[in-house]
Amino acid sequence: MTELTIGILDFVALFGLMILRTPVAFAMLMTGFFGIWILDGLRRAGAVMMTETYSAVANYSLIVVPMFILLGNVSSEAGFSRGLYDAAHAWVGRFRGGLATASVIGCAAFAAVSGSSVATAVTIGRVALPEMKRLGYGDGLSTGSIAAGGTLGFLIPPSTGFVIYAILTEESIGRLFMAGILPGLLMMVLFTAAIWIVTLRDPAAGPKGAPVALAQRLRLLLRALPLIAIIVISIGGIYIGVFTPVEASGIGAGLSILLALVTRAIDTAGLTRAIMETVKTSAMLYMIVIGAHVLNPFLALTDIPDALGRGLDYLGFGAYGTLLVIILSYIVLGMFLDGLAMLVITVPIYYPVILALGFDPIWFGVVAVVVIEMGMITPPVGLNVFVVRNVAHNVGLGTVFRGVLPFLLAMIACLLLIILFPQIALIIPNSMFG
3-state secondary structure the chain: CCHHHHHHHHHHHHHHHHHCCCCHHHHHHHHHHHHHHHHHCHHHHHHHHHHHHHHHHCCHHHHHHHHHHHHHHHHHHCCHHHHHHHHHHHHHCCCCCHHHHHHHHHHHHHHHHHCCHHHHHHHHHHHHHHHHHHCCCCHHHHHHHHHHHHHHHHCCCCCHHHHHHHHHHCCCHHHHHHHCHHHHHHHHHHHHHHHHHHHHHCHHHCCCCCCCCHHHHHHHHHHHHHHHHHHHHHHHHHHCCCCCHHHHHHHHHHHHHHHHHHCCCCCHHHHHHHHHHHHHHHHHHHHHHHHHHHHHHHHHHHCHHHHHHHHHHHHCCHHHHHHHHHHHHHHHHHCCCCHHHHHHHHHHHHHHHHHHHCCCHHHHHHHHHHHHHHHCCCCCCCHHHHHHHHHCCCCCHHHHHHHHHHHHHHHHHHHHHHHHCCHHHHHHHHHHHC
Mean pLDDT, range 41-69, rounded to an integer? 85
Identify the pLDDT of residue 145.
92
**Taking the model in full, what pTM does it have?**
0.86
Q: Which residue has the higher pLDDT, 415 or 111?
A: 415
- What is the arithmetic mean of pLDDT over 86-102? 84
Instruction: Give residue 418's pLDDT.
Output: 96
Dump pLDDT digits (tens) for 231-255. 888 888 887 778 888 888 889 889 9
Angstrom distances, CA of residue 376 to CA of 130, 220, 245, 411: 23, 32, 26, 11
Which of 85-99, 146-160, 246-260 has the weakest average pLDDT? 85-99
Q: Where are the domains of the chain?
A: 3-433
In the prediction, which pLDDT does 421 show?
A: 96
Q: How far apart are CA 386 and CA 281, in angstroms?
A: 19
By C-alpha distance, which of 78, 75, 99, 104 is closest to 228? 75
pLDDT in tens, 267-319: 889 899 999 988 988 888 888 888 888 888 888 788 777 777 777 777 777 88
Residue 407 reports pLDDT greater than 90 = yes
pLDDT at 75 over 90: no
Give ∠ CA 139-141-144 in degrees, rounded to 5: 100
Q: How far is it, in rounded angstroms, from Cα 165 to Cα 160?
A: 9
Task: Report the candidate in 395, 401, 397 with the shortest Cα–Cα distance to residue 377.
Answer: 401
Higher pLDDT, 143 or 115: 143
Residue 129 has pLDDT above 70, yes or no: yes
Residue of 330, 376, 337 whose CA lies nearest to 153: 376
Best CA proximity match to 187, nearest among 14, 417, 422: 417
The pLDDT tens digits of the residues spanning 170-212 come to: 888 889 999 999 999 999 999 999 999 999 998 888 888 778 8
